[in-house]
Amino acid sequence: MLLGISSCLTGNKVRYDGGHQYDRFAVEILGKHLEYIPVCPEVGCGLPIPREAMRLVATGDGVSLLTRKTLKDITPQMEEWTEKQLEFLAQKPLCGFIFKSKSPSSGMTRVKIYSEQGLPVSSGSGIFAGAFMKRFPYLPVEEEGRLTDDGLRHSFLVRIFTMNRWHEFMAAGPSKSKLQAFHASHKYLLMSFSPVQLRVLGKIPAQKDDLSADDYSNYLTMLMGGLSARSTTKKNVNVLEHMLGYFKKDLSPDEKKEMLEIIRDYSEGKVPHSAPLTLMKHYVRKYREPYLENQWFLNPYPPELLIR
């Protein structure tokens, strides 16, 4: 499983001041489950360490990357390197990217853009990050700072591990029947993010004709789009209640009461999402419900990544 990452986040001393921005979650926790491709656009395009700090500046030609003191325009060499780097990354089964926040080259969003007089006038994406997101609009991307938010981290983890399963699906030789199975196993996971997108997406593997390359491409784009929506307590409760319906003939009255109570407590904010999820997984194992055993909603990524 491959993930791109801003090189400074891994501890590499590539920043303009010769330092780094080591991120413990990315390296020590998430890093145990994947391999990183570290990227530093500034060093990659030929700039030294240390170097003069840079920022984005709104000019008559658009937005340029200029050094702060000498106002040297780094834009041409950064764009030339970026084009080559994106071609390199396009050859990899990349599952996503973690960018360094606020960086004029790698910031995903909210990077300050200054006027030629040195005043902040707007915000946008870093040169490399913006080009990356435009080239790979379906790939999950996040910034290290945003991954401290429970909801954003959950969404990102769901998407990168789903993306990895998609790469495995395509590498094994895609077919209509295999896509139907892939879609079925992601049904409740997608429902927990976007029930509307689930209904739309299901039309692709259900069509009568054979699937084309565009069908697979459209499926992936819509799948990642659906998983980019916000997963809410209400949506998760809806999924849990749907799953509970598979045990009508199995659960004892006390077991059903316990499940309903813990779902209610979760909906009221008294217990975390992991509480009803753990009990549901227990019943799936106990009663060997085959359809639910294959649902990625129950295990979207390794449980140790649930760290808060």
Cα separation, 44 vs 50, in Å, equals: 14
DSSP state of 53: -
- Ranges of beta strands (E only) in 115-238 are 120-124, 141-143
pLDDT at residue 298, rounded to an integer: 95
What pLDDT is recorded for position 122? 93
Tell me how far apart the alpha carbons of residues 152 and 281 are, in angstroms, rounded to a whole number.
24
Radius of gyration of the chain from Cα atoms? 22
Q: What 3-state DSSP class applies to 26?
A: helix
198 burial class (0-12, 13-18, 19+ CB within 10 angstroms)?
buried
Calpha distance 20→294 (Å, rounded): 41
d(CA 300, CA 161): 7
Both tokens assigned to 127 = 């040169």
Span 128-183, pLDDT tens digits? 999 999 999 999 999 999 999 988 999 999 999 999 999 999 999 999 999 999 99
The CA distance from 8 to 27, in Å, is 11
Q: Which two tokens stand for residue 164?
A: 């990895």
Residue among 119, 141, 153, 120 at smallest CA distance from 30: 153
- DSSP secondary structure string for all residues of 66-135: EETTT--B-HHHHHHHHHHHHHHHHTS-EEEEEEPTT-TTT--S-EEEE-TTS-EEEEE--HHHHHHHHH
Neighbours of 131 (CB within 10 A): 18
Nearest C-alpha neighbor of 5 from the set 135, 136, 94, 80: 94
- What is residue 306's predicted lDDT score, i.e. its pLDDT? 75
pLDDT in tens, the chain (308 residues): 999 999 999 999 999 999 999 999 999 999 999 999 999 999 999 999 999 999 999 988 789 999 999 999 999 999 999 999 999 999 999 999 999 999 999 999 999 999 988 899 999 999 999 999 999 999 999 999 999 998 899 999 999 999 999 999 999 999 999 999 999 999 999 999 999 999 999 999 998 888 999 999 999 999 999 999 999 999 999 999 999 999 989 999 999 999 999 999 999 999 998 899 999 999 999 999 999 999 999 999 998 887 64
Residue with tokens 């969003």: 109
pLDDT in tens, 198-228: 999 999 999 888 899 999 999 999 999 999 9
Q: Is 40 helix (H, G, I), strand (E, B) or coil?
A: coil
Give the residue from 158, 95, 102 showing the smallest Cα distance to 129: 102
CA angle, corner 152, sides to 42 and 150, nearest 5?
Answer: 120
Residue 262: how many CB atoms within 10 A of its CB?
A: 19
CB 160 within 8 A of CB 228: no
pTM of the model: 0.93
pLDDT at residue 307 in the model: 60
